[in-house]
Structure 1
Amino acid sequence: MPRTSSAAKKKTKRSSRECGIAAIDLFCGVGGLTKGLENAGIDVNLGVDIDPACAYPYSENNEAAFLLKSVADLNGRDLVQKVKGADYTLLAGCAPCQPFSTYQQKLGPSDERWHLLGHFGRLAEELDPDFITMENVPNLARQAVFKKFVSKLQSLGFHVTYQVVDCSEFGVPQQRQRLVLLASKLGPIDLVRTELKPKTVRQAIGKLPRIKAGEACASDPLHQASELSDLNMRRMRASVPGGTWRDWDEDLVADCHKRTTGKTYPSVYGRMEWDQPAPTMTTQYFGFGNGRFGHPEQDRAISLREGAILQSFPKSYKFVRKGDPIYCKTIGRLIGNAVPVKLGEAIGKSIVAHVQEHTGPKKRAA
Structure 2
Amino acid sequence: MPSQLDVSDHDARKTAGAGLYQVVDLFSGGGGMSYGFHASPYFELKGAADAQLGKPSSPKGSLACNSTYSANMGISPIEVDLSTADPAALRDAMGVEAPIDVLSACPPCTGFSRTNAKNHLNDDHRNSLVGRTIVYVDAFQPKVLVMENARELLQGRWAHHFTLLQKDLESRGYTVHAETHFLNSFGLPQVRERALVIAVAEGFQLRTLENAWEGRSLTKEATTVRRALAGLKPLQAGEVDGDDPSHTSPRFSSESTLGRLQRIPHDGGSWRDLLSVTGGQDYLTPAMQRSVDRRDFGSFPDVYGRMAWDRPAPTIKRECAHVGNGRYSHPEQDRLCTVRELGILNGFPRDYKFEGTSLSNKYRHIGDAVPPLVSFQIAAVCRWILSGPEARPSAEDLVLPGTHLLPKDIIETLPVQAIAA
3-state SS of 1:24 partner: strand
Query: 1:118: which partner in 2?
Result: 131
Query: 1:99: which partner in 2?
Result: 111
Alignment partner of 1:134 is 2:154: no
2-side partners of 1:274 and 1:359: how far apart? 39
Q: What's the Cα RMSD here? A: 2.5
Alignment partner of 1:59 is 2:70: yes
Residue 12 of structure 1 and its aligned partner are, at CA, apart by: 4.6
3-state SS of 2:379 partner: helix
Name the CA shift for 1:167/1:317 in 2 (closer, same or farther; >3 Å).
same
Alignment partner of 1:272 is 2:297: no
Residue 237 of structure 1 and its aligned partner are, at CA, apart by: 2.0
Query: 1:340: which partner in 2?
Result: 371
- Tell me which of 175, 178, 181 is aligned to 1:159: 175
Worse-superposed segment, 114-123 or 90-99: 114-123
Residue 254 of structure 1 and its aligned partner are, at CA, apart by: 2.1
1:319-338 paired onto structure 2 within 5 Å: 319-320=354-355, 326-338=357-369
Query: 1:42: which partner in 2?
Result: 43
1:196-275 paired onto structure 2 within 5 Å: 196-197=218-219, 198-228=222-252, 229-240=254-265, 241-248=267-274, 249-259=280-290, 260=294, 263-264=297-298, 265-275=300-310
3-state SS of 1:66 partner: coil
1-side partners of 2:185 and 2:19: how far apart? 25
Name the CA shift for 1:109/1:145 in 2 (closer, same or farther; >3 Å).
farther
Name the CA shift for 1:166/1:19 in 2 (closer, same or farther; >3 Å).
farther
2-side partners of 1:312 and 1:89: how far apart? 24
CA deviation map 1:242-263 (0-9, x unaligned): 2221211322222212323862
2-side partners of 1:119 and 1:172: how far apart? 30
Query: 1:71: which partner in 2?
Result: 82
1-side partners of 2:251 and 2:271: how far apart? 19
2-side partners of 1:216 and 1:139: how far apart? 37
Name the CA shift for 1:215/1:222 in 2 (closer, same or farther; >3 Å).
same
Residue 310 of structure 1 and its aligned partner are, at CA, apart by: 1.3
Residue segments in structure 2 that go unaligned for 5+ positions in a row: 1-9, 53-60, 275-279, 392-421
2-side partners of 1:112 and 1:144: how far apart? 13
3-state SS of 1:150 partner: helix
8 Å contact from structure 1 (residues 55, 66) kept in 2: yes
3-state SS of 2:297 partner: helix
Worse-superposed segment, 186-195 or 202-211: 186-195
Query: 1:312: which partner in 2?
Result: 347
If asked which structure has higher relative contact order (CA below 8 Å, sep 6+), I would say: 1
8 Å contact from structure 2 (residues 21, 43) kept in 1: yes
3-state SS of 1:280 partner: coil
Query: 2:277: which partner in 1?
Result: none
Residue 58 of structure 1 and its aligned partner are, at CA, apart by: 0.9
Name the CA shift for 1:190/1:19 in 2 (closer, same or farther; >3 Å).
farther
CA deviation map 1:142-178 (0-9, x unaligned): 3111111111111111111011111212232211111
2-side partners of 1:122 and 1:149: how far apart? 10
Query: 1:4: which partner in 2?
Result: none
Query: 1:3: which partner in 2?
Result: none
Which amino acid is the alignment partner of residue 36 of structure 2?
Answer: G
3-state SS of 1:342 partner: helix
8 Å contact from structure 2 (residues 304, 326) kept in 1: yes
8 Å contact from structure 1 (residues 256, 262) kept in 2: no
2-side partners of 1:63 and 1:215: how far apart? 29
Residue 68 of structure 1 and its aligned partner are, at CA, apart by: 1.1
Worse-superposed segment, 229-238 or 289-298: 229-238
8 Å contact from structure 1 (residues 133, 180) kept in 2: yes
Query: 1:179: which partner in 2?
Result: 195
CA deviation map 1:286-329 (0-9, x unaligned): 31111111101111110112111211212221222xxx6x3222
1-side partners of 2:133 and 2:144: how far apart? 13
8 Å contact from structure 1 (residues 83, 89) kept in 2: no
8 Å contact from structure 2 (residues 189, 228) kept in 1: yes
Which amino acid is the alignment partner of residue 165 of structure 2?
Answer: F
Worse-superposed segment, 256-265 or 125-134: 256-265
2-side partners of 1:164 and 1:119: how far apart? 21
- Tell me which of 323, 341, 361 is aligned to 1:288: 323
Name the CA shift for 1:220/1:175 in 2 (closer, same or farther; >3 Å).
same
Residue segments in structure 1 that go unaligned for 5+ positions in a row: 1-9, 361-366
Query: 1:146: which partner in 2?
Result: 162
| Aligned residue pairs, count | 347
Query: 1:30: which partner in 2?
Result: 30
3-state SS of 2:166 partner: helix
Query: 1:7: which partner in 2?
Result: none
2-side partners of 1:85 and 1:145: how far apart? 25
Residue 102 of structure 1 and its aligned partner are, at CA, apart by: 0.9
Which amino acid is the alignment partner of residue 297 of structure 2?
Answer: K
Query: 1:190: which partner in 2?
Result: 208
3-state SS of 2:102 partner: strand
